[in-house]
Structure 1
Amino acid sequence: MKSNANPQKSLIDIVLSPYWVRRWGLALLFFICLGIVYLSSKGVWLIGFLIAGACMGAPVLLATMVNTKVGVYMMVSIAFIMSMFLRLIQGVPIGLLMDFTILLMTVGELLKDIEKREYTFFKTPLSWVVYIWMGWHFLELANPEAASRVAWFYVARPAVGYIMIYFVTYRFLNSRTEIKKLLSLIIFLSFFSGAWGVAQFVFGYFPFEMNYIIQNDAVHLVFIQGRWRSFGTMGSPAHFGVIMAYMVVFCILLIGFKKTFWGRFYYIVVIVTCFMGLVYSGARSGIAVIPLAGATVVGLSKNMKLYVTSLFAGIGLFFVIIMPTDNYHIKRIQSTFKSDEDESFQVREKNKEMIIPWIMAHPMGGGLGSTGVWGQRFSPGTFLANFPPDSGYVRVAVEMGWIGYLLYLLLWGAVLIKTLLMYLKVKDEELRWIAIGIFGALCPLVVVETAQDIVGKLPSNMLFWIWVAMLLRALEIGTIPNRESIYDEPAEDSDK
């Protein structure tokens, strides 16, 4: 016989019941609003604004633990617009917010593994080389040559944190639909940044952008040969130009998979906008990405039409390089392929020759954050603080030693070789072209890193790991034609 008596509830069960949670929440919200009104009435509007922002942002941050897709989308969006926001409101610790969000996503995924007793979060096709690369970052904390341990914290925190984005992204990109959604977000953000760069060229910099440039003595970076360079929402014209360049190639490849007129029209607008942004950035490294990405795409496509198209494109580029002109933008493009006439290139080469003996004598380098902006901030007056790390490879070699440089090459080699071997097994046409597009973004960076530190700074340092995760998932799903998810069996019809 069942008892009609209700089971005895503890005080915690009663307090955390939906009935009381709603009332505690309403009471808390009332007092928070009251506090904001009081602070605003006293003129302390900034604190009130921050409290209101925290109340709205806290649920979003907590949601990233449950649904990591929200966190990845938010991280990608912030990466694209963070530099623009920091020019508007300087000193806001957005980097710490990003790190905390990444931590929440990682903890959320680990808790899911513990609950299911399936510890697969860190299991990916490239985990071993990622562990090695992360491990060397941690070993750099014990570098006896490091002039500042604080600089290590500032550099290693995002470097290791963004690697976690790779694991999180790889986990949730388990279907064709998720890959295409994230790709669509990146394309839209690139279009937005490109449009911002075009607006900078047509109308000039916004007042807050010009104020930032003057205050930070950055005129020499954006004003060259009597022209102001566009940088969109990125940190510099070089980063802006590189991203615009490979998005042009990417969208050209994928436009054929848009079935509607408006879908193709949108991609054409993105292509034109990003190409204009590339030209107005004056980024020679970005110009170099176009033929490098094109060569990568043609080499992987096995498509006769692309072979013929690339031949005519190469002939056209050759005439652009040799043609006499007074147009600033064309002359800027021409200078990309005339390094012997480029004074800045010659200076970078001399710096490399000068620093190589020092690198060979320091297997662990001078420590993370010992060069560039971080070096001038945390170890001013030192030899490395005054050394300009114009190249990504040089920066790694100087800060992490020749051992770190070899590990960096190992990372690149493992990523490219593993994914190329997986590419040979892909049978799905759409995912094959998505993979080719990602190859077209990654492979040029191998060359561009010799002249610019692209992968080491936002948004490319985050996009690099997202591209790798997306590439792996596209290749895994694409081994079976028309498959929607990594867990699905072959489907009869494509769900494109």
Structure 2
Amino acid sequence: MNNDPLYTTNRDRLKDIWLIPGILISIFLGWLVSGKGMSVGVLLSVFPFLAGFFVLIFLKPRIGLIFFLIYCFIMPTLGKHIDGLQAGLGQDALLILTWLGIIFQRTRVYKFRHLNNDLMWLTFVWFVITVLEIANPERPSILGWVYEMRSATLYWILSVPLVFLVFNKKSDIDLFFNIIIILSLIGAIYGAKQLMIGPDAAENRWLEAGAKKTHVLFGKLRVFSYYSDAAQFGSSQAHVSIMCLILASGAHSFSKKLWYAFAGVIIFYGMLISGTRGALFAFVGGGATFLVLSKQVKILILGGVLGLAFLGMLKYTNIGSGNQQINRMRTSLDPEDASFQVRLINQKILKDYLASRPFGTGVGTIGMWGVTYNADKYISRIPPDSLYVKIWAMYGIVGFILWLGIMLYITGKSAGIIWNTRDPVLRNQLAALCGGATGVLLCSYGNEVLNAMPTSAIVYISWGLIWLSPRWDKPQPKTIEI
């Protein structure tokens, strides 16, 4: 009787009844994907993994900060390849989840007293100033403020204290370098693929949507790899490359030196193919910082001569003129360059406009978010081109002086900490961190570098590690095993 298709037992009925909600859920999900696009389907398919990941962050908040750093590299390409995905919000989510994991942690007590230091207070001061800009007399859009303040201060104030709380072991410096070097190296290789084979379909759609006018010049592609754009790709590659080359000169084993030198050269190639002229100044700033911190007059003189010779070669000779990337880099040293002249004109316009506005026009009134949410403001029509100019426009001359003072203090204090570090390996690592951050600060005059990912995350974590380093320093120089 059990073989009779019309016969069912209560047990069979109980088992099969679950098909009904399963079918209904499948129909609903199919409708949702067909109506809302594949991005919803992708999110639904990865939901179980996300749930497990959230639990992992709550158990080990340190993992949240590590994944935040990794995500900052791959986030832009996710946005290009998955239509409708607000990939940038993933950065906010990772930082907030990490903080929630710390707050609700039951198995470990975090030493919040370590947050009482000058770096944290300066970070907090800049956050307060940004919040006060909501009341700017120009009455900027609150939505413009929300989106702009994320890069201007939110990631800064959320990530720096996490370094003191969950990324505070000496071995974390090596982990940090490994993550950013490997991801940058992959970025350079992927960029070479774009140059030699071409962008994929999603990247071509992004180019055709408007990016082509700045990324295809004279028929040549400005490579952007999996970064947000060519400018950020080139600047980030320069940032990590100079760090690698500084590490290659340190008191490390031969195999490590070889690894750092190899990575530095390949990543430098990534900078070249980006066609980003301002990235050159990351090398100038980072190299000069390292030479000063080396405490060796011979290295300082030799490095200075080599650096000046390289800049002189670009400015006064035609060496490498057959290479498109070198030619474009050469224009960064030409004061008569048309692009540079346009920037000077825009700065003159802003100078006149901001003369009666000592506190600027408000956060989010210039640049991309200015065009989107403050289109009624005159200043939104003027491209800032530079982070310095953007800070000046949004915060006014008063805010700009405070911001620049904070940056100079952090740079000077970092140099002082490194100068007094006795462990040769640690000192070399800190010099790489400081040199990279200083180079970013310098090349931010030409592009919005410091407020873009992954550069922001790298610099903020670098600051925290430098501040933590005195507790790891050894009274006697460390012996290096080769």
Fold match, TM over 0.5? yes
User: Does structure 1 retain, via aligned residues, the 8 Å contact 2:364–2:394?
Assistant: yes
The one-letter code of the counterpart of 1:455 is: L
- Is the counterpart of residue 56 in structure 1 residue 52 in structure 2? no
The change in CA–CA distance for 1:284 and 1:161 in structure 2 (over 3 A counts) is closer
Deviates more, 1:185-194 or 1:41-50: 41-50
Taking structure 1 as reference, are residues 119 and 401 closer, same or farther at Cα in structure 2, changes over 3 Å only? same
Q: Give per-residue Cα distances to partners, 1:436-491, cap 9 Å, x unaligned.
A: 11121111233222221111222222222112112222344225457xxxxxxxxx
Task: Report the equivalent of 1:327.
Answer: 323
Q: 1:203: which partner in 2?
A: 197
Per the alignment, do residues 238 and 476 of structure 1 end up closer, same or farther by CA in structure 2, a change over 3 Å counting?
Answer: farther
- Measured in 2, the distance between the counterparts of 1:404 and 1:32 equals 58
In the alignment, is residue 166 of structure 1 matched against residue 160 of structure 2? yes
1:376 aligns with 2:378: no
Deviations 1:239-270 (A, max 9, x none): 11111112222112223555364x45543432
Match of 1:107 among 100, 122, 126: 100
Superposition RMSD on alpha carbons, in Å?
Answer: 2.9
For 2:284 and 2:110, the matched residues in 1 are separated by 48
Q: Distance in 2 between matches of 1:153 and 1:470?
A: 28
The alpha-carbon distance between structure 1 residues 116 and 41, as it changes in their structure 2 partners (threshold 3 A), is closer
Per-residue deviation at 1:493?
6.8
**Correspondence 1:16-415 to 2 at 5 A:** 37-39=26-28, 44=33, 46=38, 47-111=40-104, 116=109, 119-120=112-113, 122-158=115-151, 159-215=153-209, 217-255=210-248, 256=250, 259=253, 261=255, 263-303=256-296, 304-305=298-299, 307-324=301-318, 325-338=321-334, 340-415=335-410
Counterpart-to-counterpart distance in 1, 2:133 and 2:336: 38
CA distance in 1, matches of 2:43, 2:354: 46
| Stretch deviating more after TM superposition (185-194 or 100-109) | 100-109
1:223–1:144 CA distance, 2 compared to 1 (3 A):
same
Greater CA deviation, 384-393 or 120-129? 120-129
Which residues of structure 2 form unaligned runs of 5+?
Answer: 1-18
2:327 aligned partner, one-letter code? K
Equivalent position amino acid for 1:329 in 2: Q
Residues 359, 110 of structure 1: CA spacing in aligned structure 2 closer, same or farther, 3 A cutoff? farther
- The amino acid that maps onto 2:253 is K
- Give CA deviations for 1:188-215 in whole Å, capped at 9, x if unaligned: 1111111111111111222211111111
Partner of 1:120, secondary structure, is helix
Which residue matches 2:461? 466
Partner of 2:13: none
2: CA distance, partners of 1:309 / 1:396: 33
Going from structure 1 to structure 2, the CA distance change for 1:116 and 1:391 (only over 3 Å counts) comes to: same
Structure 1 alignment gaps of length 5 or more = 1-29, 483-491
Q: Is the 8 A contact 1:191 1:274 kept in 2?
A: yes
Contact (CA 8 Å) 1:288, 1:336: kept in 2 or not?
A: no
Going from structure 1 to structure 2, the CA distance change for 1:385 and 1:424 (only over 3 Å counts) comes to same
Structure 2 letter corresponding to 1:188: I
- The Cα shift of 1:291 comes to 2.6
Partner of 1:430: 425
Deviations 1:397-423 (A, max 9, x none): 111222221221122022112222222
Q: 1:113 to 1:214 in 2, by over 3 A?
A: same
Distance 2:24 2:301 in 1: 67
Match for residue 6 of structure 1?
A: none
Q: TM-score scaled by structure 2?
A: 0.86
| 2:467 partner SS | helix
Once the two structures are TM-superposed, the CA of residue 383 in structure 1 deviates from its matched residue by: 0.5
**Which digits, 9 at most, give the CA deviation of each residue in 1:308-354, with x for residues without a partner?**
2542453244234322234322322221212x221111110111111
Partner amino acid, structure 2, of 1:178: D
Aligned length: 456
- Local SS of the residue matching 2:91: helix
User: Is the contact between residue 335 and residue 342 of structure 1 (CA under 8 Å) also seen in structure 2?
Assistant: yes
One-letter identity of the residue aligned with 2:200: F
Q: Give the distance between the partners of 2:301 and 2:20, measured in 1 at CA.
A: 68
AA at the equivalent of 1:238: A
Q: Which amino acid is 1:227 matched to? A: K
Q: Secondary structure at the match of 2:115?
A: coil
**Whole-angstrom CA distance in 1 between matches of 2:468 and 2:322:** 47
